[in-house]
């Protein structure tokens, strides 16, 4: 039970990071992993083993949509883009995250 | 949250069907990622080989990722599903006995539903073959004070409505007057054939909204007196009589009228209105200009079947309200006060109701309910079987769970099995349903309809298993599969793995909950069966009660046939009256014929001719027309009472001497005599029927005849008034005469001899048509009840069978689970018959609970049931008791077999088998 | 002759042959044995030696194929199924290894069962049931379902059930087999006590500790009665540690 909850929390966080990374422009999977690493100043490293399943999951939920296109180096690549629903979801997740992290900070501060 | 879930599930299902494409997409995408990574490392200065190695190490197991992605994509679901199905097939094949019983049970349940639904679908759900048929209505007049409902519309009434109404897009009509305006002899150069045609208004085609196949339909000028004689042919006539002649337009039809009718169009095959019409003729061709002009101004000549197309958004009841106001104005208008047979009200009902007849809907819904019960019982049976199996498969389930199958996975596996079973059942059900529909056709609804028979399209012949019915069957079977499969599956999945695995094979005490569930299934099965049996019992009793009605006639050896006067005139070259005498004369001469007579319509069928009458004496002195009583009128020749075996209670029959030259005579029936001549002999008194308002038709009552009823009479005997043909023959008769022939021996065998004696040389020159045994006609009046009784009987028989199988199944299963217990009891010195008694006792107790519940529900629903089974007492204690005893007896028998088996258990084996 | 009349049970050249796939298997072979009123007899031997079959024949659950078995002076082989049931009900009380209580019945109903089958009036039944349960110290659990009891308790109820009909003889088939040693010992104490009060008991066990409670032991090997010494020798040769099953 607890293990499952922890897993979901992590998943949720990853989902949020993915949504955030493509909120300005469509990106392919590799680009997303690079972007998350850059945005977190090399702290967060997303394994492809969790990235791609997460992308497919988000697409199934209708939060992102994908399209095959051509990458900078002229290769066929699949680009992911935020949908309107995904946009809203990002807002919700971000708000939730802020509430959660500030709550955790409060707990940690009262040491 | 739920929406997300649904969307996700939906995509997954969709993905399943795009499987291979997606799999390669996943591969390609991962490949791309890897190559980009390598490229990046190369850019940062690594050798190509190193970059590849590092990237691959970092990348981790590609296979696992692909697997995960597939999983997300629902590919896993597909693999699992295929696996489930494969396994389910294997399980079902491995226990063929179980599979066959379950599939047959389901096939009975689903098949009965499919058959009944296919009829419901055709008769109630499928639209009539007209444009927007739900907006088409039939309009009737009524005069409730005089018991007139659904009377044909008077010409002038219709004209006034048409001027004022705002409810209808268009109103059309069919003229329904004398038989001479329905049946025609069509003469061609070398041939004479009989056709059925109707004079109809041009607007009828607009109302029904069906364009002609060829040519055009009638125009409004054709409706007016003095208009053209024009005809539109039915598809059947065009193809069969004219061999689909493309040059048909413009040909002339000689229908024996002053002028021929010119063919202007052909309708498509689906256009049947009324059911049996070969052609539609212009109203102008009905009669001469003067006659037509006068009848069109009459409020008393009710000759029209009127049908209208409602404007969009107008309901039949709104239209009825509007017309009712208009008709009230007509009936209250001072200038119409002298009009005979003036109607006071209007009814508007959807055409579909007319087509199906009044009882059809409730009869079919009742049957749908009944087969629903049958299906529930079937479900309960299969659920029981599955439950029993689930328990014996506990070890298997425990092993699966121990190997890591989730609970949902186990449930899904078991549900797949049930769905497979129910789909197999559905396949077998379709076969059963085809037979079932044949059965339905055998007992086709052929009741005396409140509506007009001619509008009752014989759609039961159209019943078939189409896509809608198949969809229904599949839906039912899926629902059924979930219904009977879910609880056993959930129960099987809810087990304590450890204890089950450790448990020895004799498996201790069976789960109490499972047993409780099984017992309640058994109880509900028995109670459902009881309700159905009680319903069937009621229907059967109602039916036999009807058959027990004394019809007042002796019909078994009497033939009834319609005399085609036109044909008789043509074949014999005589005028109508002589032609009738000729027919009677010829038939009487045949050996084996004991009596021949003619009558407008036999008394077991309504005459369709009702009006007020006045008797001499103080009672009716000075009474206004509207205050006079009503009677049914029939014209007849001498000998009708003898032919039909109706007793003459007093006075005499009509005689050959009762002709126009002699004083008018009449015979009344017992009901009329008792009501209006209480405690006195009406013979010698005088009676005047308003239909013959001329005082010279004032008739002396010369006899009193016994009452005649049909099986659907509600017990109130009609007042009947009989007059001799010879005095009134053409005085307004709208009904062609019926010839009654009493024979010795079998009626059907006499028909060829009669034909031979009467008909012309051409086989189509039949003077008497539509021969029927009067007993059959009488039986037909109970056909709706027969239909219900037979079908409910069949369905409750199936229910009984299924319930017995269910009781047997539950008892033999629970007995097999209790072998050890039986062994203990035997070891403790129980006599085998004590074991027998214990087990039978338990089965009987469960059945008894079911019976009590079922009886309670039957009594509770009694009110509803009595509405459906026309005129029955709501709860018939005797029927309920009989049915309960039958059910108890049969379920006791069903427990005897397992009990007997238990009795013969070898205690040693029972206690020791390990 | 004198002796045979006194014996409660007497067997002469009793044998049991099973026919399996055309091979005759002698489960029991020429058993001569007597059991007297008030005696506590234990039957021992390795599993498969035929001791349980012998007990079943004694208890009329099974019949011998050879020889004679006289129970209370009656030749049992000639009795009808009905008579055998009656005799089993009145003269024999069973105690099984697996207790064999009926899970859906209460303790009271379980104990009452043999009396019911005997057709005893309800008032008498109730008194007997209470006495029997009193004796095994289970009367406080009268209304419980047997499935709610511990193994030791269940076996005590089973003893009470066997006692309730005051049978001539108690037949116990490995009564301690499904119990831990503490509960096993308690049940043996109970049997010992009953024996002290005059009950005739025949018990099958392979455990020598429990066998020692009996007045007399009979050893079976391959369906034959053997002496104690020979049994021990054979056991050592054939079955490594028969006594190690503590």
Coarse DSSP helix, strand, coil percentages of chain A, rounded to the nearest 5 percent: 65, 15, 25
| Strands ordered across the beta sheet of A64-70 | A27-28, A76-82, A64-70
Q: Which residues of A touch B33 (CB under 8 A)?
A: 28-30, 33, 48, 52
Predicted confidence band of residue B77 (pLDDT cuts 50, 70, 90):
low
The tens digit of pLDDT for each residue in C135-194 reads: 888 889 888 887 788 888 888 899 999 888 888 899 998 888 888 888 888 889 889 888
**First CA to last CA distance, chain C:** 42
How many Cβ atoms sit within 10 Å of the Cβ of residue B603? 28
Chain B residues in contact with A53 by the CB 8 A cut-off are 65, 68-69, 71-72
Instruction: Count other C-beta atoms under 10 Å from residue C164's C-beta.
Output: 26
Has residue B457 got a pLDDT over 60?
no
User: What per-residue confidence (pLDDT) applies to B321?
Assistant: 93
Joined tokens for residue B169: 């897009």
B32 and A57: CB-CB below 8 Å?
no
Cβ atoms within 10 A of the Cβ of B149, count? 13
Buried b (16+ CB within 10 A) or exposed e, B107-144: bbbbbbbbbbbbbbbbbeebebbbeebebbbbbbbbbe
Residue B265 predicted with pLDDT over 90: yes
Query: What does the pLDDT look like over B861-903, one tens digit per residue?
Result: 766 666 655 445 556 788 888 889 999 998 898 888 888 888 8
Report residue B452's pLDDT band, with 50, 70 and 90 as the boundaries: very low
Q: Report how many domains make up chain A.
A: 1
Report the chain C residue with the minimal C-alpha distance to residue B515: C104
- Give the residue ranges of DSSP H helices in B451-511: 467-493, 497-502
CA-wise closest residue to B576 among B741, B771, B767 = B767
- Which residues, at least 6 apart from B678, have a Cβ–Cβ distance to it below 8 Å? none
CA pair distance B126, B767, nearest whole angstrom: 39
B325 is written with which tokens? 């106001």
> Which alpha helices (DSSP H) does A22-67 contain, by range?
29-39, 48-60
Is the Cβ–Cβ distance between B835 and B899 less than 8 Å?
yes
CA–CA separation, B350 and B308 (whole Å): 10
The answer, yes or no, to whether residue B214 has pLDDT greater than 60, is yes
For B100-134, write each residue's pLDDT tens digit. 888 888 888 888 888 888 878 877 777 777 888 88
- Three-state secondary structure along B706-770? CCCCCCCCCCCCCCEEEEEHHHHCCCCCCCCCEEEEEECCCHHHHHHHHHHHHCCCCCCCCCEEE
- For tokens 């503590």, name the residue: C246
| Per-residue tokens: B372 | 């629903």
Chain B residues with beta carbon closer than 8 angstroms to that of A75: 32, 35
| Chain B touching partners, 3 or more CB pairs below 8 A | A, C
Q: Give the gap in angstroms from C-alpha B111 to the nearest C-alpha of chain C.
A: 40
The pLDDT score that the predictor gives to residue B451 is 38
Longest dimension (CA), chain B: 135
Helices assigned H by DSSP within B126-262? 155-164, 203-208, 235-240
The 10s digit of each residue's pLDDT in B774-809 is: 888 777 777 667 777 777 888 888 888 888 888 888
Spell out which residues of chain C touch residue B512, defining contact as CB-CB under 8 Å: 104
Q: What is the pLDDT of residue B708?
A: 85
Query: B450 pLDDT band (50/70/90 cuts)?
Result: very low
Q: Give the count of beta carbons closer than 10 Å to the beta carbon of residue A57.
A: 21
Provide mean pLDDT across the span C38-58: 87
pLDDT band for position B449 (cuts 50, 70, 90): very low
- Answer whether B391's CB lies under 8 Å from B509's CB: no
Q: How many Å is the maximal CA-CA distance in chain A?
A: 54
Average the pLDDT over C190-209 and give the result.
88
**Cα dist from B791 to B112, B446, B535, whole Å:** 10, 14, 11
pLDDT tens, position by position, A62-94: 788 888 888 887 888 889 988 888 888 888 888
Strands B665-669 and B699-705: parallel
Contact between C61 and B907 under an 8 Å Cβ cutoff? The reply is: yes
Residues pairing with B137 in the sheet: B308, B350
DSSP B144: G
- Closest chain C residue by Cα to residue B508: C103
Handedness of CA B660, B664, B670, B675 (dihedral sign): positive
User: What per-residue confidence (pLDDT) applies to C234?
Assistant: 73
Count CA atoms within 13 Å of residue B417 on its CB side: 28
Q: Which of B576, B577, B587, B573 lies closest to B768 in space, CA to CA? A: B587
Q: Which range of residues forms the domain containing residue A17? A: 2-109
Question: What pLDDT does B264 receive?
Answer: 94
A60 and B64: CB-CB below 8 Å? no
Separation of alpha carbons B456 and B274, rounded Å: 8
Alpha-carbon gap, residue B129 to B604, rounded angstroms = 34
Strands B665-669, B648-651: pairing is unpaired
Is residue B107 within 8 Å of B381, Cβ to Cβ?
A: no
Contact of chains B and A by CB distance (3 or more pairs under 8 angstroms): yes
The CATH number covering residue A98 comes to 1.10.10.10
Examine chains B and C and say if they touch (3+ CB pairs below 8 A). yes
Find the helix or strand (DSSP H, E) in which B559 lies.
strand B558-563
Section B455-482 average pLDDT: 74
What is the arithmetic mean of pLDDT over A1-8?
A: 37
Contact criterion met (CB < 8 Å) for A48 and B73 = no
Rg for chain C, CA atoms, rounded:
18
- Which tens digits make up the pLDDT trace of B723-778? 888 776 544 343 457 888 998 888 888 888 888 888 877 766 778 877 888 888 77
Name the residue of chain A whose CA is nearest to B68's CA.
Answer: A53
The DSSP code for A43 is -
| CB contacts, 8 Å: C111 with chain B | none
Size of the B and C interface in Cβ pairs below 8 Å: 59
Is residue B53 classed exposed, middle or buried when 0-12, 13-18 and 19+ CB atoms within 10 A define those classes?
A: middle
Per-residue model confidence (pLDDT) at position B7: 55
CA distance B136 to B167: 12
β-bridge mates for residue C33, sequence order = C11
* Residue B508 pLDDT exceeds 70: no
Nearest to A61 among B7, B30, B74 (CB): B7
Please determine, for residue C1, whether its predicted confidence score (pLDDT) is greater than 50.
Answer: no
- Smallest Cβ–Cβ distance between B829 and the set C101, C103, C117 belongs to C117
User: What value of ipTM does the predicted structure carry?
Assistant: 0.84
**Hey, where are the domains in chain B?**
2-73, 133-356, 358-548+783-912, 558-780
Question: Tell me, what's the pLDDT at B181?
Answer: 63
Helices B512-547 and B358-392 sit at what angle, rounded to 10 degrees? 150
CB contact under 8 A, C52 and B912: yes
Q: Over chain C, what is the mean pLDDT?
A: 83
- Measure the CA–CA gap between A18 and A38, rounded to whole angstroms: 13
**Residue (of B250, B447, B464) closest to B359 by Cα position:** B447
Q: What angle do CA B155, B159, B162 make, to 5 degrees?
A: 140
Predicted local distance difference test score (pLDDT) of residue B850: 92
CB B737 within 8 A of CB B643: no
Picking from B29, B60, B71, the nearest residue to A29 by CB comes out as: B29
Q: Does residue C108 register a pLDDT over 60?
A: yes
Q: Identify the residue with better confidence: B491 or C203.
A: C203
Q: Could you tell me the domains of chain C?
A: 2-244 (3.40.50.300)
State the Cα–Cα distance between residues B236 and B249, nearest whole angstrom. 16
Interchain proximity B509–C59, CB inside 8 Å: no
Token representation of residue B519: 């017992």
- Within B378-529, strands assigned E span none
Is pLDDT of B161 > 90? yes
**B4 touching A, CB under 8 A?**
yes
- Which token pair is B198? 């109707």
| Mean of per-residue pLDDT scores for chain B | 79
The predicted model gives B272-293 an average pLDDT of 85
Strand order in the sheet with C200-204: C92-95, C169-173, C200-204, C40-44, C216-221, C224-226
pLDDT at B502 over 60: no
In whole angstroms, give the CA distance from residue B204 to residue B198: 12
pLDDT tens sequence across B235-257: 988 988 888 888 899 999 888 77
Residue with tokens 């004083």: B663
DSSP secondary structure, chain C, as one string: -HHHHHEEEEEEEEEEEEEETTEEEEEEEEEEEEEETT-EEEEE--TTSSHHHHHHHHTTSS--SEEEEEETTEEGGG--HHHHHHHHHHHEEEE-TT----TTSBHHHHHHHHHHHHT--HHHHHHHHHHHHHHTT-GGGTTSBGGGS-HHHHHHHHHHHHHHT--SEEEEESTTTTS-HHHHHHHHHHHHHHHHTT-EEEEE-S-HHHHTTSSEEEEEETTEEE-HHHHHHHHHHHSS-GGG--
Share of chain B above pLDDT 70, in %: 80
CA atoms of B34 and B18, how far apart (whole Å): 25
Range of A76-85, B459-468, B567-576 with top mean pLDDT: A76-85
B748 interfaces chain A, CB cutoff of 8 Å: no
From C61, C89, C113, residue closest to B907, measured CB to CB:
C61
Whether chain B has a CB inside 8 Å of the CB on C244: the answer is: no
What is the nearest CA distance from B830 to chain C, expressed in angstroms? 5
The total of other beta-carbon atoms located within 10 Å of residue A31's CB is 20
Percent of chain B predicted with pLDDT > 90: 11
CB-based contacts of C172, cutoff 8 Å, min separation 6: C94, C95, C162, C191, C201, C202, C203, C204
Chain B partners of A73 at a C-beta cutoff of 8 Å? 39
Q: Do B831 and C117 touch (CB under 8 A)?
A: yes
Orientation angle between helical segments B155-164 and B316-332, nearest 10 degrees: 120
Tell whether B605 lies on the interface with A, counting CB pairs under 8 A.
no
């Amino acid at each position: 039970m607890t293990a499952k909850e922890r897993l979901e929390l992590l998943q949720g966080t990853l989902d949020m990071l993915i949504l955030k990374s493509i909120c300005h422009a469509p990106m392919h999977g590799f680009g997303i992993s690079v972007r998350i690493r850059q945005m977190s100043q090399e702290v967060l490293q997303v394994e492809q083993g969790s990235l791609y399943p997460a992308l497919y999951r988000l697409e199934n939920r209708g939060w992102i949509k994908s399209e095959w296109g051509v990458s900078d180096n002229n290769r066929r690549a699949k680009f992911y883009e935020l949908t309107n629903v995904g946009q809203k979801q990002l807002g919700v997740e971000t708000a939730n995250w802020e509430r959660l992290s500030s709550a955790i900070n409060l707990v940690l501060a009262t040491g | 949250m739920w929406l997300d879930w649904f969307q996700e599930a939906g995509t997954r299902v969709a993905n399943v069907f795009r499987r291979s494409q997606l799999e390669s997409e996943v591969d390609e995408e991962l490949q791309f990622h890897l190559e980009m990574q390598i490229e990046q490392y190369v850019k940062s200065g690594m050798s190509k080989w190193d970059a590849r190695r590092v990237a691959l190490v970092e990348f981790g197991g590609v296979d696992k990722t692909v697997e995960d992605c597939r999983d997300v994509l629902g590919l896993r679901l597909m693999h699992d599903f295929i696996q489930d199905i494969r396994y389910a097939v294997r399980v079902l094949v491995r226990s063929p006995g179980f599979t066959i019983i379950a599939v047959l049970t389901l096939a009975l349940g689903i098949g009965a539903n499919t058959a009944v639904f296919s009829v419901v679908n055709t008769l109630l759900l499928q639209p009539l073959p007209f444009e927007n048929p739900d907006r088409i209505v039939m309009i009737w007049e009524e005069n409730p004070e005089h018991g007139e409902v659904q009377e044909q519309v008077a010409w002038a009434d219709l004209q006034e409505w048409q001027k004022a109404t705002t409810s209808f897009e268009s109103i059309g009509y069919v003229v329904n007057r004398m038989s001479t305006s329905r049946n025609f002899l069509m003469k061609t150069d070398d041939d004479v054939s009989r056709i059925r045609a109707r004079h109809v208004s041009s607007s009828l085609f607009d109302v029904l909204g069906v364009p002609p196949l060829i040519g055009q339909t009638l125009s409004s000028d054709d409706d007016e007196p003095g208009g053209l004689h024009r005809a539109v042919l039915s598809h059947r006539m065009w193809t069969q009589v004219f061999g689909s002649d493309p040059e048909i337009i413009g040909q002339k039809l000689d229908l024996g009228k002053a002028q021929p009718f010119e063919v202007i169009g052909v309708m498509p095959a689906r256009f049947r209105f009324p059911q049996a019409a070969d052609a539609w003729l212009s109203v102008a061709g009905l009669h001469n200009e003067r006659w037509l002009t006068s009848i069109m101004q009459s409020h008393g000549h009710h000759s029209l079947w009127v049908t209208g197309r409602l404007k969009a958004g107008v309901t039949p009841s709104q239209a009825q309200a509007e017309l009712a106001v208009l008709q009230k104005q007509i009936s209250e208008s001072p200038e119409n006060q002298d009009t005979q047979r003036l109607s006071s009200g209007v009814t508007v009902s959807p055409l579909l109701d007319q087509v199906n007849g009044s009882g059809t809907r409730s009869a079919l819904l009742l049957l749908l309910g009944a087969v629903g019960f049958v299906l529930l019982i079937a479900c309960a049976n299969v659920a029981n079987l599955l439950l029993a199996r689930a328990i014996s498969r506990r070890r298997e389930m425990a092993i699966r769970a121990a190997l890591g199958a989730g609970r949902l996975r186990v449930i899904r596996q078991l549900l797949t099995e049930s769905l497979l079973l129910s789909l197999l059942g559905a396949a077998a059900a379709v076969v059963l349903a085809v037979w079932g529909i044949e059965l339905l056709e055998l007992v086709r609804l052929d009741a005396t309809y409140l509506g007009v028979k001619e509008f009752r399209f014989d759609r039961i012949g159209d019943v078939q298993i189409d896509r809608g019915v198949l969809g229904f069957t599949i839906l039912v079977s899926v629902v059924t599969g979930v219904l009977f499969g879910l609880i056993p599956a959930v129960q099987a999945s809810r087990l304590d793995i450890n204890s089950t695995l450790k448990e020895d094979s004799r498996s201790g005490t069976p789960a109490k909950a499972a047993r409780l569930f099984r017992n309640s299934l058994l109880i509900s099965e028995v109670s459902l069966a009881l309700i159905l049996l009680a319903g069937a019992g009621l229907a059967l009793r109602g039916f036999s009660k009807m058959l027990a009605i004394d019809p007042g006639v002796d019909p078994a050896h009497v033939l009834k046939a319609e005399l085609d006067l036109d044909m008789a005139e043509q074949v014999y070259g005589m005028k109508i009256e002589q032609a009738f005498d000729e027919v009677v004369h010829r038939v009487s001469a045949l050996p084996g014929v004991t009596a021949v007579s003619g009558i407008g319509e036999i008394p077991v069928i309504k005459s369709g001719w009702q009006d007020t009458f006045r008797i001499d004496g103080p009672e009716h002195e000075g009474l206004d027309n509207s205050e006079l009583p009503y009677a049914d009128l029939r014209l007849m020749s001498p000998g009708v009472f003898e032919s039909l075996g109706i007793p003459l209670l007093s006075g005499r029959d009509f005689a050959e001497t009762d002709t126009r030259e002699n004083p008018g005579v009449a015979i009344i029936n017992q009901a009329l005599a008792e009501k209006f001549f209480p405690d006195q002999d009406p013979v010698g008194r005088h009676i005047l029927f308003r239909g013959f308002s001329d005082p010279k038709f004032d008739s002396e009552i010369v006899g009193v005849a016994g009452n005649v009823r049909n099986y659907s009479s509600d017990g109130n005997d009609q007042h009947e008034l009989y007059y001799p043909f010879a005095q009134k023959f053409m005085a307004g008769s709208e009904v062609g005469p019926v010839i009654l022939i009493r024979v010795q021996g079998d009626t059907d065998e006499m028909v060829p001899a009669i034909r031979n004696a009467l008909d012309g040389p051409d086989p189509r020159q039949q003077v008497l048509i539509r021969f029927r045994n009067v007993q059959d006609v009488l039986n037909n009046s109970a056909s709706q009840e027969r239909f219900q009784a037979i079908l409910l009987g069949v369905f409750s028989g199936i229910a009984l069978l299924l319930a017995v199988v269910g009781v047997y199944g539950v008892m033999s299963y629970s007995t097999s689970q209790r072998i050890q217990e039986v062994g203990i009891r035997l070891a403790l010195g129980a006599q085998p018959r004590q074991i027998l008694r214990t087990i039978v006792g338990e089965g009987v107790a469960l059945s008894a609970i079911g019976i009590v519940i079922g009886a309670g529900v039957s009594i509770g629903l009694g009110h509803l049931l009595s509405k459906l089974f026309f005129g029955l007492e709501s709860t018939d204690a005797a029927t309920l008791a009989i049915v309960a005893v039958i059910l108890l007896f049969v379920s006791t028998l069903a427990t005897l077999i397992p009990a007997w088996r238990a009795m013969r258990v070898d205690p040693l084996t029972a206690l020791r088998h390990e | 002759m004198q002796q045979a009349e006194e014996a409660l049970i007497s067997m002469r050249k009793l044998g049991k042959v099973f026919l399996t796939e055309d091979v005759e298997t002698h489960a029991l072979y020429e058993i001569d044995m007597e059991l007297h009123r008030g005696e506590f007899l234990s039957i021992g031997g390795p599993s498969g030696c035929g001791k349980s079959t012998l007990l079943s024949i004694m208890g009329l659950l099974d019949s011998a194929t050879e020889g004679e078995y006289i129970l209370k002076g009656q030749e049992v082989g000639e009795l009808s199924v009905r008579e055998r049931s009656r005799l089993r009900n009145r003269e024999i009380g069973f105690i099984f290894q697996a207790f064999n209580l009926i899970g859906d019945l209460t303790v009271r109903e379980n104990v009452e069962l043999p009396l019911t089958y005997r057709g005893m009036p309800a008032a008498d039944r109730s008194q007997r049931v209470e006495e029997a349960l009193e004796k095994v110290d289970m009367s406080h659990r009268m209304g419980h379902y047997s499935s709610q009891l511990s193994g030791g308790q269940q076996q005590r109820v089973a003893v009470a059930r066997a006692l309730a009909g005051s049978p001539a003889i108690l037949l116990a088939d490995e009564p301690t087999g499904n119990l831990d040693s503490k509960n096993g010992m308690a049940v043996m104490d109970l049997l010992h006590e009953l024996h002290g009060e005059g009950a005739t008991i025949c018990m099958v066990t392979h455990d020598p500790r429990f066998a020692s409670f009996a007045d007399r032991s009979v050893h079976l090997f391959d369906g034959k009665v053997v002496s104690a010494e020979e049994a021990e020798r054979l056991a050592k040769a054939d079955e490594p540690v028969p006594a190690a099953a503590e």
